[in-house]
Amino acid sequence: MVLLENDSFLTELTRLFQKCRTTGSVYITLKKYDGRTKPVPRKGNPETFEPVDNKCLIRATDGKKKISTVVSPPLLDLAYSNLLRAHIDGLKKKDKKSKSKKTKATQ
Amino acid sequence: MPHYQSWEEFSRAAEKLYLTDPMKVRVVLKYRHCDGNLCVKVTDDAVCLQYKTDQAQDVKKIEKLQGKLMRFMVSKESHSMTMETD
């Protein structure tokens, strides 16, 4: 799993989308992150860890390559949503023309 | 493991689930350009909410919801709570 800076993550995510245009899926996962770098201790030693409240983790994969990044304010959500909107464009558009044709036909 | 047909219901249930336990909930997005569909899943490993679409108009709604949840995650918890109740 490659942990990247926010900018490199966005670049790599773009590359993932481009790679999967002809075949395959892009998986993106979003989760709140409290800044842990060590696993939760089973018992015994009390947790000396202070959870942070303002981070989240974004992971992306195409099934083979994995990338991730940690997001904290100021947010990259604008760049991220623009990226999603730019690449997720293969879906069906709302067909207004055929609808109006149908209404005309019934009239 | 409900599959939602209505975006309204899905986004309301998703926000509600997130607010019950923000640390546990994750949002998964799966996009297949070759098949032309997008699938969103919000889960806390006990409850799993899913929404599938092949409509371009849903992309904007989905990415808005992602942005909203991301903002909740990155803000201080008390703020996100008051946002909802106010």
Give residue-wise pLDDT tens across range B22-78: 999 999 999 999 999 999 999 999 999 999 999 999 999 999 999 999 988 988 654
Q: How many other C-beta atoms can be found within 10 angstroms of the C-beta atom of residue A23?
A: 11
ipTM of predicted assembly, 2 dp: 0.86
Residue A44 has φ and ψ, to the nearest 5°, of: 90, -100
pLDDT for residue A101 is more than 70: no
Task: List the 24-63 stretch of B: residues with Cβ below 8 A of A.
Answer: 25-34, 36-38, 53-60, 63
Nearest to A77 among B53, B55, B67 (CB): B67
Cβ–Cβ of A22/B36 closer than 8 Å? Answer: no
Higher pLDDT, A100 or B1: B1
Residue of B20, B25, B29 to mutate for A, most A C-beta atoms under 10 A: B29
Q: Closest partner residue to B28 among A21, A27, A92, by Cβ?
A: A27
Contact A34, B21 (CB under 8 A): no
Q: Kindly list the structural domains of chain B, giving each domain's residue range(s) and its CATH number in brackets, ordered by start.
A: 7-70 (3.30.720.10)
Cα–Cα distance, B61 to B56 (Å, whole number) = 10
Compute the nearest-CA separation of A11 from chain B (Å).
17
Which of B85 and A40 is assigned the larger pLDDT? A40
Q: Does position A98 have pLDDT exceeding 70, yes or no?
A: no
DSSP A93: P
**CB spacing of A24 vs B32 below 8 angstroms:** yes
DSSP A3-62: EE-HHHHHHHHHHHHHHTSSS--EEEEEEEE----SPPP-SSSPP-----SSEEEEEEES
Query: What per-residue confidence (pLDDT) applies to B77?
Result: 57
Give the DSSP H or E segment for A56.
strand A55-61
Q: Regarding predicted confidence, which is higher, A23 or A48?
A: A23
Among candidates B26, B31, B64 on the partner chain, residue whose Cβ is nearest the Cβ of A88: B31
Name the residue facing A53 among B25, B54, B76 (closest C-beta): B76
Q: Strand pairing of A26-33 and A55-61?
A: antiparallel
pLDDT tens by residue, A36-95: 888 888 887 777 788 888 899 999 999 999 999 999 887 778 889 899 999 988 899 887
Chain position carrying tokens 């709570």: B81
CA gap B44, A70 in Å, rounded: 20
pTM of the model: 0.84
Res B80: pLDDT: 43
Pair of tokens at residue A44: 């015994």
